[in-house]
Structure 1
Amino acid sequence: IAEKFAMDAEIHDAKKRMKVLLMVSRFGHCLNDLLYRWKIGALPIDIVGVVSNHFDYQKVVVNHDIPFHHIKVTKDNKPQAEAQLLELVEQTGTELVVLARYMQVLSDALCRKMSGRIINIHHSFLPSFKGANPYKQAYER
């Protein structure tokens, strides 16, 4: 079946906790849910850090004894910001990046480099309905 659909499969030791880097912007409900589940043991991962393009959740993250990393992103510095992110992924040994309502669209180049290692838990219907109000955009279409 994997060959028919051009799928790749990997087998991992379920006892080994995956090193995960979380990314968030200004809305913290996804981050807070992940941190809560991690704290009570329902999410068996090692959170190696949280990256944000804002400082809104720095205290929340630090209060969980997790490193917080601010990477400012503008239209003018996006390639440099993504290079900084890749460096952090390398330094921390990150195996998976979870976009927990991270409100930046990642470049094709970054997605290719991180292929199979990024999960977006944002509610949008990318790439068709970017930004705020994706349900409204879909309805209007």
Structure 2
Amino acid sequence: MKIFKKLYAITFIFIVAIACSSDDDNSGTTEENQAKIIGTWKFTSSTTNGETDTDLYICDFEETFEFNATSITINFYEDPSGEDGSNCQLVETYTFNYTINGSTISNDEGNTQEIITLNDTTLRFEETETYEGTTYIYTETYTKQ
């Protein structure tokens, strides 16, 4: 799951999409969504095909997405002991450019992702991916810091 988590987060950079006014109805304008997404968002939960992911590591909950006006930085944490205890340390950082067009965020690689919720406290996005003939729907939730 850790590899999928990293791949998914990196994919997020490539396939980000955004929408949702504070009432979660996907009606936000590009400007409203751009203003709402600016800041640091910390990982809180994820699902795969509607089922809560239970194989997460403690350090996964330290992951952050930092949005500014034109770029996003993702910070990954791991326990250097390999035991995934409470000694989480920053191990990888990725930064990409992004743009918002209505309810879609795209990165500079041309990938997009759909945001389910975007308000003052919650960012939830969804990605659909087909791998070896099986379709997966990943949903991740972040809380604004």
Q: Same fold (TM over 0.5)?
A: no
From the CA coordinates, give the structure whose radius of gyration is larger. 1
With CA pairs under 8 Å and 6+ residues apart, which has the higher RCO, 1 or 2? 2
Larger strand fraction of residues: 2
> Which is helix-richer, 1 or 2?
1
Q: State the TM-score, normalized to the length of structure 2.
A: 0.30
TM-score, normalised by the number of residues in structure 1: 0.30
